[in-house]
């Protein structure tokens, strides 16, 4: 077979190389647009909040714009005996600054629900104007085999019931899509869900609605020096006020719209 002239060879491969380069650029652009924009739909929801723990260290609550963030959840406890070192300070200061505040517990899959409920109750004050307690349910590789699925659901039920009875509010479950679909689907139909999903809108098996959506773990908020989890409420401001009234919390007054600087 006769070889092509050198000029033709380089011309041909230059065209191929250019095509490959354009394909890579286009592919990268699409990846960035679709996968690196986890908050793309969050702006569709008018009620925004965030959640923090000791990992955020010292927070200047006075700097956080209350007209933009209507609620905050604070880590209070974990397992049967861990208490977040910043919880009490954050709880008092955030409330003094006028934020709507709730507490969440990181559930250890190999600890009894009653012990974990008592840890939370011993730590989180009873306040009628607080947001409902939240239970963070996630995979724990060191604990996942401790109980059968039925036993685990029973222990979660025990904690759920004790918090509901003590605080007089329906607790919320914080979940990933995978944990919900594999463990919780078909159970706890009455429990509002707070879903962690950074790539798209929450999509849960047999559950068309969610209450809160944690849409990013890389938020930047004035007064907080580290990245922070960002959340939105499912619904309008009117529905948000209905949610508050259902939990014995006075509706929020309408404030001036937040303008991004």
- DSSP for 114-156, written as a single string: HHHHHHHHHHSPP-TTSPPPEEEE---TTTTTSS-HHHHHHHH
Task: Evaluate if residue 97 carries a pLDDT over 70.
Answer: yes
Question: For this structure, is 96 an active site residue?
Answer: no
For every residue of 73-105, which 3-state class applies, written as one string? EEEEEECCCEECCCHHHHHHHHHHCCCEEEEEE
Q: Which of 58, 78, 96, 138 is catalytic?
A: 138
Is 92 or 260 the better-scoring residue by pLDDT? 92
Structure confidence by residue, pLDDT tens digits, 23-40: 444 444 443 334 444 444
Q: How far apart are CA 261 and CA 257, in angstroms?
A: 12
Phi–psi pair at 168, nearest 5 degrees? 70, 25
Task: Evaluate if residue 95 carries a pLDDT over 50.
Answer: yes
Q: pLDDT > 70: what percent of the chain?
A: 80
Averaged pLDDT, 9-21: 43
Averaged pLDDT, 84-94: 97
Do 75 and 57 touch, CB atoms closer than 8 A?
no
What share of residues in the chain are helix, strand, coil (percent, to 5)?
Answer: 35, 20, 45
pLDDT, the chain, mean: 84
Contacts of 163 (CB under 8 A, 6+ apart): 117, 120, 121, 133, 135, 171
Task: Please give the pLDDT value at position 142.
Answer: 76
- Residue carrying the six token digits 């250019």: 18
Task: Evaluate if residue 44 carries a pLDDT over 90.
Answer: no
Task: Evaluate if residue 213 carries a pLDDT over 60.
Answer: yes
Do 50 and 231 touch, CB atoms closer than 8 A?
yes
Is 143 or 18 the better-scoring residue by pLDDT? 143
Q: pLDDT > 90: what percent of the chain?
A: 67
Structure confidence by residue, pLDDT tens digits, 242-260: 999 999 998 876 544 443 3
Structure confidence by residue, pLDDT tens digits, 174-207: 999 889 988 999 999 999 999 999 988 787 877 7
Task: Evaluate if residue 63 carries a pLDDT over 80.
Answer: yes
Q: State CA 119 to chain mean position distance.
A: 22
Do 234 and 41 touch, CB atoms closer than 8 A?
no
């Amino acid at each position: 077979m006769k070889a092509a002239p050198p000029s033709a060879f380089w011309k041909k491969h230059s065209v191929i190389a250019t095509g490959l380069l354009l394909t890579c650029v286009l592919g990268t652009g699409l990846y960035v647009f679709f996968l690196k924009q986890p908050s793309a739909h969050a702006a569709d929801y008018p009620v925004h909040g965030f959640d923090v723990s000791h990992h955020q260290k010292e927070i200047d609550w006075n700097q956080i714009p209350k007209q933009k963030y209507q609620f905050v959840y604070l880590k209070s406890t974990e397992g049967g005996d861990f208490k977040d070192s910043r919880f009490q300070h954050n709880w008092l200061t955030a409330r003094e600054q006028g934020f709507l505040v709730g507490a969440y517990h990181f559930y250890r899959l190999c600890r009894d629900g009653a012990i974990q409920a008592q840890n939370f109750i011993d730590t989180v004050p009873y306040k009628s104007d607080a947001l409902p307690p939240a239970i963070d349910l996630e995979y724990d590789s060191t604990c996942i085999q401790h109980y059968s699925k039925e036993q685990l659901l029973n222990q979660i039920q025990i904690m759920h019931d004790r918090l509901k009875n003590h605080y007089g509010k329906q607790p919320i479950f914080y979940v990933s899509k995978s944990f919900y679909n594999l463990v919780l689907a078909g159970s706890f139909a009455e429990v509002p869900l707070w879903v962690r999903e950074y790539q798209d809108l929450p999509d849960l098996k047999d559950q068309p609605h969610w209450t809160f959506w944690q849409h990013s773990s890389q938020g930047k908020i004035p007064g907080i020096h580290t990245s922070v989890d960002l959340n939105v409420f499912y619904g309008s401001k009117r529905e948000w006020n209905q949610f508050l009234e259902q939990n014995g919390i006075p509706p929020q007054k309408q404030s001036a719209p937040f303008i991004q600087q």
